[in-house]
Amino acid sequence: MNRPRVLINCAMSVDGKIAKPSGKQMKISSEEDLKRMYKLRNESDAVLVGIGTVLSDDPKLTVKEKYVKNPKQPIRIVLDTYCRTPTDAKIVNEKAKTIIVVGYDCKKKFGENVEVINCKKTKENLIGLEYLLDVLFKRGIKKLMVEGGSTVISNFLQEGLVEDFYIYVGPMIIGGKNTPTLVNKDFKNIKLRLVETKNIGPGILLHYRLIK
């Protein structure tokens, strides 16, 4: 396989919601699951989110020493077709290297730890994921952790580019007709094979693999 091994990690409520009705991030994972998540992030070469997550949540996407001793910070990757990442966003701070993947020439100036890659686009003006994975693999990224949001998760699943799919289900119901869900696109039926279930704190972890 001449591309990184891709895993998706996310947390959702019992009714499949991943954020507040407003779209803002909320804590769904327990402390026990956060420790698992940070360990998984620490073991990855890179961690990826979409621009929507950056604009709504302003994440650092680093590994906290509270959960992992002597952390190895993965490369942070943002899918950002129109280069909307703010120059003062936390994801471009000096704590780790960042790659911003765009679809057009980007005139913004970021710090020395930030690299902007112009990537092929799809007909929908989204970043071409297969092309991007080839680029990342050639840069030595062998394990890629995808953390969201809904559109990014949907696109990776739709294109069959996922090996492992980790879902932490928190013991809550959020509700809301327009509240962000785990996937937000219509696509062909995707079949999964359940690898493991595990009680973590008050919730449960589901580990699936895609059947290809």
The whole-number average pLDDT for the span 27-42 is 97
d(CA 110, CA 132): 21
Contacts of 2 (CB under 8 A, 6+ apart): 134, 137
Q: Tell whether the torsion through CA atoms of 45, 48, 54 and 57 is positive or negative.
A: negative
What is the model's pTM?
A: 0.95
pLDDT over threshold 90, residue 81: yes
d(CA 17, CA 178): 10
- CA angle at 183 for the pair 120 and 44, rounded to the nearest 5°: 65
The CATH class of 5-210 is: alpha beta
The whole-number average pLDDT for the span 48-53 is 96
